[in-house]
Chains A and B, each alone.
Chain A
Amino acid sequence: MDEIKQELQSSSRATHQDYFGKALSYLCITFVGLLVLSILYFITTRGLATFTENHVSLWKFLIEKNWNPGVLDSHGQPQIGALPMIVTSFSVTVLSALVATPFALGVALFMTEIAPKRGTKVLQPVIELLVGIPSVVYGFIGLSVIVPLIRHTFGGTGFGILAGVVVLFVMVLPTITSLSIDSIKAVPMYYRSASLALGATRWQTIYKVVLRAATPGIMTAIIFGMARAFGEALAVQMVIGNAVLMPHGLLTPSSTLTSQLTTGIGNTTMGTLPNNALWSLALILLLMSLVFNILVRFIGKRGSLKK
């Protein structure tokens, strides 16, 4: 009897295990947190140097169209207008997400509503493989297949936003698809049963009930897809043409933030204006990634179905 009393009042192996486990998991998350903080700090300080050390006006950086950081203009001012790249980055991102969404939804619905067993068996590996193909390979296929194809169909050089969109479309497809699948799966079964029981066809059920209920999740999926497109570098760089010009259409060569960053970074020296200017581009990428994530949280909070 006393023995049990003793046991109840003292800590046991289980309590030690719990402290240990808790400490371990806290340690891991702290580590991840520090990692993110350090990289954020790093990019922010480098990215802000353009404005603090080189005294470039932030406004000019955002709205001017001339990007030529190595050369001073007639007024002795560095030419670092990032607008063309910002516009191009947004264009390819939005367009590729727009093109990819119907395909992603089609696949997601097929895997969840139409043929869950067979569909998953065939399409799950398809999605995983699409993720698995490296961006270098996507880039080279883009360069050797898509660019000539566009050139033959539409004329011009073939390089440009359209080529970027085609490549990115395939690259963001798996992201949007798998996240959409998750959100569609999260729609409770009885929603469907209820709708079908009322005599609705499968499509009416999908369209009016399932997709409605899954909308916040699908929006999240699209935004994550956009985030992926926004940050993709190597593949886009090979097909976009890398001309720092305002895009005049889908077919003229232009340049995204990432492509400018990747091509330029090795050829500039740390601490100089051209290098700092590139880090400012990286900072924009970082901020955009933050914006995308905040959007996701916002949508998640407003229309959350799960919690």
Chain B
Amino acid sequence: MQDYSFDKTHIIDIPIEKAMTTENLQVFYGDNHAMHDASLQFSRYRITALIGASGSGKSTYLRCLNRMNDRIATVKGKIMYRDMDINSPKINVYEVRKHISMVFQRPNPFAKSIRENITFALKRNGIKDKTELEERVESSLKAAALWDEVKDELDKSALALSGGQAQRLCIARCVAMKPDILLLDEPASALDPISTAKIEETLQQLRKNYSIIIVTHNMQQASRIADYTAFFHMGHVLEYDRTEKIFTNPQIKATEDYISGNFG
């Protein structure tokens, strides 16, 4: 891999309504400076893809957005959400995560029934009404395109689901919380092509009501589903633009090389 300059970047501002933005976000794992000055704006009701090679910092960046890095890294800079810096220590992280929810790389359903996987967090957040809970289970499963497959076995263990189903359950679990923003960390990387296709379909559906930020190493996936794409390289954001632009006419050499498969 050749050395690319980190000085030259091409990052656009989002003209339409913003879901959230970061300003000069930096991440340190001990002495290791893992993320440099990432300033990005995310559009509301759009899908934004974060692409880049392994270790480029895209997952690290994503995990900052709902403070999942709190315990393992030092995060500096601003994360603006609803005109507030949610990276401030005064912010209640648990509330943040209710609005900005995350789906992980490996499906991680709880060792509970399918129904309880969805209702568990809801009940903890004070939703006691049975019909309301039932309604949320159904709507979230439908939103995640899982309803038809599991509607008759809601009391079965979630551990018995296939990988793709489990991942969609994890998405449903997040959706049931009615968050603003969905963060997805390579949600399809551990899945087969058919499951991947289903997940992508699901995301297209969700896009109507949610702002989605998705990390992926699969460029086809990014080009298929994302409205905007950011390219990460060695802890820097080098390019951020509309997806067609990134894939047809990249402004930065590193992006071009990555997209054409020269490294990564």
Would A and B touch once assembled, by the CB under 8 A criterion? yes
A219→B199 CA distance, assembly (Å): 48
Within 8 A of A (CB), among B57-90: 81-84, 86, 90
Residue interface bits A151-163, CB-to-B below 8 A is 1, else 0: 0000000000000
**Number of contacting residues on B, CB 8 A?**
13
User: Shortest beta-carbon distance, B131 to chain A, in Å?
Assistant: 23
Q: Specify which of A4, A5, A10, A15 lies most central, judged by the most chain B CB atoms within 10 Å of its CB.
A: A4
Residue interface bits B184-198, CB-to-A below 8 A is 1, else 0: 000000000000000
Q: Which residues of B contact A11 (CB under 8 A)?
A: 92
A9 on the B face (CB < 8 A)? yes
Q: Which residues of A contact B90 (CB under 8 A)?
A: 9
Whether the Cβ atoms of A1 and B92 lie closer than 8 Å is no
A39 on the B face (CB < 8 A)? no
A12 on the B face (CB < 8 A)? yes
A8 on the B face (CB < 8 A)? yes
Whether the Cβ atoms of A14 and B94 lie closer than 8 Å is yes
Whether the Cβ atoms of A10 and B84 lie closer than 8 Å is no
Whether the Cβ atoms of A15 and B92 lie closer than 8 Å is yes
Within 8 A of A (CB), among B225-240: none
Among the listed B81, B82, B94, B99, which residue makes an inter-chain contact with A12, where contact means beta carbons less than 8 Å apart?
Answer: B94
B161 on the A face (CB < 8 A)? no
User: Shortest beta-carbon distance, A19 to chain B, in Å?
Assistant: 12
A14→B95 CA distance, assembly (Å): 8
Given contacts A1-B82, A4-B82, A4-B99, contact A9 B94 (CB under 8 A): no
Whether the Cβ atoms of A12 and B95 lie closer than 8 Å is yes
A108→B82 CA distance, assembly (Å): 57
Q: Specify which of B82, B90, B91, B95 lies most central, judged by the most chain A CB atoms within 10 Å of its CB.
A: B95
Whether the Cβ atoms of B91 and A5 lie closer than 8 Å is no
Q: Which residues of B contact A10 (CB under 8 A)?
A: 92
Nearest residue (CB) in B for A7 is B95
A8→B126 CA distance, assembly (Å): 17
Q: Which residues of A contact B91 (CB under 8 A)?
A: 8-9
A20→B82 CA distance, assembly (Å): 30
Nearest residue (CB) in B for A14 is B94
A5→B90 CA distance, assembly (Å): 12
Nearest residue (CB) in B for A6 is B95
A15→B99 CA distance, assembly (Å): 16
A11→B91 CA distance, assembly (Å): 8
Q: Which residues of B contact A15 (CB under 8 A)?
A: 92, 94
User: Shortest beta-carbon distance, B52 to chain A, in Å?
Assistant: 27
Among the listed B82, B94, B126, which residue makes an inter-chain contact with A5, where contact means beta carbons less than 8 Å apart?
Answer: B82
Q: Which residues of B contact A13 (CB under 8 A)?
A: 126
A15→B95 CA distance, assembly (Å): 9
A1→B126 CA distance, assembly (Å): 20
Residue interface bits B87-129, CB-to-A below 8 A is 1, else 0: 0001110111001000000000000000000000000001000
Residue interface bits B169-188, CB-to-A below 8 A is 1, else 0: 00000000000000000000
A12→B99 CA distance, assembly (Å): 14
A18→B93 CA distance, assembly (Å): 12
Residue interface bits A3-41, CB-to-B below 8 A is 1, else 0: 011011111111100100000000000000000000000
A265→B67 CA distance, assembly (Å): 59
A79→B126 CA distance, assembly (Å): 73
Q: Which residues of A contact B84 (CB under 8 A)?
A: 5, 8-9
A15→B90 CA distance, assembly (Å): 12
Q: Which residues of A contact B81 (CB under 8 A)?
A: 8
Q: Specify which of B81, B90, B94, B126 lies most central, judged by the most chain A CB atoms within 10 Å of its CB.
A: B94
User: Shortest beta-carbon distance, A195 to chain B, in Å?
Assistant: 26
A207→B232 CA distance, assembly (Å): 45
Nearest residue (CB) in A for B96 is A8
User: Shortest beta-carbon distance, B82 to chain A, in Å?
Assistant: 6
User: Shortest beta-carbon distance, B29 to chain A, in Å?
Assistant: 16
User: Shortest beta-carbon distance, B176 to chain A, in Å?
Assistant: 17
Whether the Cβ atoms of A7 and B92 lie closer than 8 Å is yes
User: Shortest beta-carbon distance, A173 to chain B, in Å?
Assistant: 33
Q: Which residues of B contact A1 (CB under 8 A)?
A: 82
User: Shortest beta-carbon distance, A265 to chain B, in Å?
Assistant: 49
Q: Which residues of B contact A18 (CB under 8 A)?
A: 94
Q: Which residues of B contact A8 (CB under 8 A)?
A: 81-82, 84, 86, 91-92, 95-96, 99
Q: Which residues of A contact B95 (CB under 8 A)?
A: 7-8, 12, 14
User: Shortest beta-carbon distance, A1 to chain B, in Å?
Assistant: 7
User: Shortest beta-carbon distance, B84 to chain A, in Å?
Assistant: 6
A134→B96 CA distance, assembly (Å): 54
User: Shortest beta-carbon distance, B195 to chain A, in Å?
Assistant: 24
Within 8 A of B (CB), among A232-273: none
A interface vs B, CB < 8 Å? 1, 4-5, 7-15, 18
Task: Show 6 A/B contacts (Cβ-Cβ < 8 Å), sorted by A.
Answer: A4-B82, A5-B84, A8-B92, A8-B99, A13-B126, A18-B94
Nearest 6 Cβ contacts at the A-B interface: A14-B94, A7-B95, A8-B95, A12-B92, A8-B91, A11-B92
Given contacts A1-B82, A8-B99, 18 further A-B contacts (CB under 8 A): A4-B82, A4-B99, A7-B92, A7-B95, A8-B84, A8-B91, A8-B92, A8-B96, A9-B90, A9-B91, A9-B92, A12-B92, A12-B94, A14-B92, A14-B94, A14-B95, A15-B92, A18-B94
